[in-house]
């Protein structure tokens, strides 16, 4: 089956014995059993079942299983937000004294998180670009992971997963990829050597801008050792399930970063049209970028343009699609604000991945807590506008941005 058929028919979406075409929403806190012995077995992982929605829920499980299949992973764990997912992944692996190699081209909130982790003795080594060469040179005896966004948001730099995963394997460290802006429609990072994939599923996976969530997908391929990762010692008996077992029974469960059943259901509904939405949004993004490229007073950044240094990688790794985000530079903050205020069809909002086109001025919003150096490294300037391109008719979008640019 191809992507869209697989979305709808790849696994049974029937979550009950009543023949429903979608899983029911199990909007409950706890699950009752006929005997204390039954609940004891479930609670202690000796029998299948659900005990409490903070640690497991059938609707959430249906969402997790669907994403794990789409990404080709061993299993998945859903979280209350994308940031909760990133935090859980890192704290499941790292301890005080450890280092993690990260890209500078990260979402502002993720950069803030790495600053927070300093208090726990975890050091982030920021690299301007994540490549085979830079990772190989940056690894030290304390390095325990590499974390990067596949398509930087909003820098729009793209990582060569095949080469970077090779560097990680040579140094015995896992590659963690935030694939939010690519989605499983453009690429499955696990097939290119990534060990763990993270999504802010609030974005393209949900698609409707109606639920906050995140999800972690583990490949099961990384070989954890008690010498380099002592926290895994008691979980190594689970073999390829070591990471997921440790995550579910430790930091994820204990911090309470669970996904609400209703939000999981909204994501399941959104998934049905992921392929259609991404196809249209990527097509619109390319045409909008080409329009901006024709203007003398606008500087455009889009990896799907032949002029982009990442164009060849887009063809090789992302099936020729550059994603659904375009960034432009208007010349000054004042001009950027004026352009944004003149737009009729695009909403000024902080999300991406909505069916509607959204615009934001990153420097004054999502990067307001970052230093000037961090902003520049992330591709954020005073005149930068990030455009999350939706599924509107492209002629309407182009005409709208044309009149806004001329104001």
The confidence score (pLDDT) of residue 13 equals 52
Section 25-41 average pLDDT: 95
CB 98 within 8 A of CB 92: no
Assigned token pair, 120: 């726990």
Assigned token pair, 322: 């550059």
In terms of C-beta density within 10 A (0-12 exposed, 13-18 middle, 19 or more buried), how is residue 86 classed?
buried
The confidence score (pLDDT) of residue 32 equals 96
Q: Domain 3-270, what fold?
A: 3.40.640
Task: For residue 16, name the pLDDT band (cuts at 50, 70, 90).
Answer: low
CB 96 within 8 A of CB 121: yes
Maximum pairwise Cα distance, the chain: 74
Task: For residue 44, name the pLDDT band (cuts at 50, 70, 90).
Answer: confident
For 126-142, the pLDDT digits (tens) are 999 999 999 999 999 99
The confidence score (pLDDT) of residue 108 equals 85
The confidence score (pLDDT) of residue 10 equals 75
For 240-257, the pLDDT digits (tens) are 999 999 999 999 999 999
Section 313-338 average pLDDT: 97
Q: Any idea which residue has 């003149």 for tokens?
A: 342
CB 143 within 8 A of CB 170: no
Examine the pLDDT at 12 and tell me if it is beyond 60.
Answer: no
Sequence-separated (6 or more) residues with CB below 8 Å from residue 292: 298, 300, 326, 328, 401
Q: Which of 125, 90, 94 is CA-nearest to residue 228? A: 94
* Alpha carbon distance 107, 375 (integer Å): 10
Cβ atoms within 10 Å, residue 365: 13
CB 284 within 8 A of CB 392: yes
CB 385 within 8 A of CB 332: no
- Sign for the CA dihedral angle at 40, 46, 49, 54 comes to positive
Q: Domain 276-406, what fold?
A: 3.90.1150
* Alpha carbon distance 407, 402 (integer Å): 9
The confidence score (pLDDT) of residue 393 equals 98
**Of all residues in the chain, what percent carry a pLDDT higher than 70?**
98
Q: Give the pTM.
A: 0.96
Domain 276-406 in the same topology as domain 3-270: no
The confidence score (pLDDT) of residue 115 equals 94
For 185-241, the pLDDT digits (tens) are 999 999 999 999 999 999 999 999 999 999 999 999 999 999 999 999 999 999 999
Examine the pLDDT at 15 and tell me if it is beyond 70.
Answer: no
* Alpha carbon distance 375, 10 (integer Å): 42
* Alpha carbon distance 128, 232 (integer Å): 31
* Alpha carbon distance 182, 149 (integer Å): 9
Sequence-separated (6 or more) residues with CB below 8 Å from residue 223: none
3-state secondary structure at position 381: coil
CB 270 within 8 A of CB 22: no
Task: For residue 332, name the pLDDT band (cuts at 50, 70, 90).
Answer: very high
Ordered by start, the domain boundaries in the chain are 3-270, 276-406
- The CA-based dihedral angle spanning residues 255, 260, 265, 271, taken in that order and rounded to the nearest 10 degrees: -40
The confidence score (pLDDT) of residue 8 equals 87
The confidence score (pLDDT) of residue 279 equals 98
H or E stretch covering 257: none
The confidence score (pLDDT) of residue 105 equals 87
What average pLDDT does the chain have? 95
**Of all residues in the chain, what percent carry a pLDDT higher than 90?**
91
Section 359-371 average pLDDT: 94
Q: Which of 354, 385, 378, 353 is CA-nearest to residue 157? A: 378
């Amino acid at each position: 089956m191809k992507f869209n058929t697989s979305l709808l028919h790849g696994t049974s979406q029937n979550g009950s014995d009543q023949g429903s075409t979608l899983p029911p929403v199990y909007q409950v806190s706890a699950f009752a059993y006929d005997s204390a012995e039954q609940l004891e077995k479930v609670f202690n992982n000796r029998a299948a079942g659900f005990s409490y929605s903070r640690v497991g829920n059938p609707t959430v499980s249906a969402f997790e299983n669907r994403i794990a299949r789409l990404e080709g992973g061993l299993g998945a764990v859903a979280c209350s937000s994308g940031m909760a997912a990133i935090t859980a992944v890192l704290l499941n692996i790292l301890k005080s004294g450890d280092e993690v190699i990260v890209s500078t081209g990260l979402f502002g909130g993720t950069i803030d998180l790495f600053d927070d982790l300093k208090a726990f003795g975890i050091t982030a080594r920021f690299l301007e670009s994540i490549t085979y060469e830079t990772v190989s040179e940056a690894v030290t005896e304390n390095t325990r992971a590499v974390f990067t966004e596949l398509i930087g948001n909003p820098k729009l730099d793209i990582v060569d997963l095949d080469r970077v995963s090779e560097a990680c394997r040579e140094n015995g460290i896992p590659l963690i990829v935030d694939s939010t802006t690519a989605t499983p429609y453009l690429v499955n990072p696990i097939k290119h050597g990534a060990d763990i994939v993270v999504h802010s599923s609030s974005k393209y996976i949900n698609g409707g801008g109606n639920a906050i969530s995140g999800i972690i997908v583990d490949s099961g391929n990384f070989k954890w050792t008690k010498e380099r990762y002592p926290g895994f010692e008691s979980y190594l008996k689970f073999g390829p399930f070591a990471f997921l077992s440790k995550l579910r029974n430790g930091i994820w469960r204990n911090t309470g970063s669970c996904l609400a059943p209703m939000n999981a259901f909204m994501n399941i509904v959104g998934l049905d049209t992921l392929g259609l939405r991404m196809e249209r949004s990527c097509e619109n993004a390319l045409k909008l970028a080409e329009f901006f490229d024709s203007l003398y007073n606008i500087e455009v950044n889009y990896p799907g343009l032949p002029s982009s240094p990442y164009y060849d990688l887009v063809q090789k790794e992302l099936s020729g699609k550059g994603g659904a985000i375009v960034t432009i530079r208007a010349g000054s903050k004042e001009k950027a604000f004026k352009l944004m205020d003149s737009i009729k069809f695009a909403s000024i909002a902080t999300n991406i991945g909505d069916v509607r086109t959204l615009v934001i001025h990153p420097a004054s919003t999502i990067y307001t807590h970052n230093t000037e150096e961090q902003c520049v490294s992330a591709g954020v300037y005073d005149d930068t506008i990030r455009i999350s391109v939706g599924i509107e008719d492209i002629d309407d979008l182009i005409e709208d941005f044309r009149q806004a640019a001329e104001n």
